Amino acid sequence: MKQVLGLLIASVVLTSAQAQEVKRDIPYTKNADKLQTLDVYSPSNAKALPVVVWIHGGGWQAGDKSEMYDKPKVFNGKGFILVSINYRLLPKVDMATLTRDVAKSIRWVHDHIAEHGGDPKRLLIMGHSAGAQLAALVCTDERYLKEEGLSFAIIKGCVPVDGDTYDIPAMIEVAETRLRLHGLPLPKMGHRIKFGNDPEKHKAFSAVTHVAKNKGIPPFLILYVANHPDVTAQALRLDNVLKAAEVPVTVFGAKETTHTKINADLGKSDDPATAALFAFVEKVVK
């Protein structure tokens, strides 16, 4: 009986492996650093499928493209190519260089994803935490894609997940006021420092600064943890700015979850944020 069960499990694993093709550690630029690489997850025999580009979190200082939980299996099962990217990190590079790495990875996807069964004109940019800030920025500040010879036209949707830095000056003010009121020292590597210790840079790296009408900014779904005041305030701030610019936007506050769990649960069949995600995705890629 155990032998039969073992054969059945092996058969399921083999079938699953055949259903998905994974290419890891692909350089996305010339003379690439070890972090300027990406992984491509695609269903077998994929052809002209929409593509999700996923940007990991980690405070712009940590994290890795391998931290994907159920996303590859679920997105492939729904008929999407999934690309998970790495990018160079603080403090080895500055925020502008880091953001340009994201844009370079999108350029690689545009140029090469058809070789993996993807449609280069139907990209969805998503990211969690620090990745949420980066996703929102490259989908609102057109300069990064323009440097790579691209435009918003290829981006069909943007999904930032539980970011707290769509309006960086506001986040700095809230965080530092809270610390001062409690008589606590400012962090040595807080948002003020990470984003360049310059008010103009803080504005420049804020998605809300760049939102305007008639720029071709793609539709947004903003996912956030509903019981956390900072991410809630930032989500609603970005929502209001997008609405004022007549950019289609949906916000979804996930209840009974945490900053880590909202990311880990994306893809689970009983997860409400996942239901909101796929309702949005299916709408914007049609």
> 84 pLDDT exceeds 70?
yes
Mean pLDDT computed over every residue of the chain: 93
Q: How far apart are the first and last CA of the chain?
A: 48
Structure confidence by residue, pLDDT tens digits, 213-231 = 999 999 999 999 999 999 9
pLDDT, position 286: 81
pLDDT computed for residue 134 by the predictor: 99
Q: Does residue 255 belong to any structural domain of this protein?
A: yes
Structural domain including 123 reads 22-285
What confidence tens digit (pLDDT) does each residue in 153-202 have? 999 999 999 999 999 999 999 999 999 999 999 999 999 999 999 999 99
Number of domains in the chain: 1
Give a yes or no: residue 13 inside a domain: no
Q: Averaged over 104-123, what is the pLDDT?
A: 98
Q: What's the confidence (pLDDT) of residue 159? A: 98
Q: Say if 99 falls within a structural domain.
A: yes
Q: Over the range 169-200, which residues count as b (16 or more CB within 10 Å of their CB) and which as e? A: bbbbebbbeeeeeeeeeeeeeebbebbbeeee
CATH value at residue 72: 3.40.50.1820
pLDDT, mean of residues 89-107: 98
Distance between CA atoms of 209 and 238, rounded to whole angstroms?
Answer: 10
CA distances from 20 to 123, 243, 245 (A): 19, 38, 40
On the question of pLDDT at 14 being above 80, the answer is: no
Burial of 261 (0-12, 13-18, 19+ CB in 10 A): middle
Residue 15, in any domain of the structure:
no
17: pLDDT confidence band, cut at 50, 70 and 90?
very low
Is the N-terminal amide bond of 91 cis, ω within 30° of 0?
yes
Q: Is 178 a domain residue?
A: yes
Q: Give a yes or no: residue 14 inside a domain.
A: no
Please indicate, yes or no, if residue 277 is contained in any of the structural domains.
yes
Residues 6+ apart with CB under 8 A from 40: 21, 22, 23, 26, 81, 82, 83, 113, 116
Q: Which residues contact 17 (CB under 8 A, 6 or more apart)?
A: none
The answer on pLDDT for 2 being more than 90 is no
Q: CA 58 → CA 61, 88, 128, 130, 168, distances in Å?
A: 6, 12, 9, 6, 17
With respect to residue 159, please indicate whether it lies within any of the assigned structural domains.
yes
d(CA 88, CA 36): 7
Residues 6 or more apart in contact with residue 144 via CB below 8 angstroms: 99, 100, 102, 103, 137, 138
Looking at residue 253, its amino acid is: G
Residue of 205, 210, 240, 223 lying closest to 161 (CA atoms): 223
Angle at 65 between CA 166 and CA 13, to 5 degrees: 135
With a CB cutoff of 8 Å and minimum separation 6, the contacts of 148 are 103, 104, 106, 107
Mean pLDDT of 4-14: 33
What does the pLDDT read at residue 106?
Answer: 98
Question: In this structure, what token pair is assigned to residue 229?
Answer: 């005041």
- Rounded to two decimals, the pTM is 0.93
8-state DSSP, 114: G
Per-residue confidence at 234, pLDDT binned at 50, 70, 90? very high
* H/E run at residue 35: none
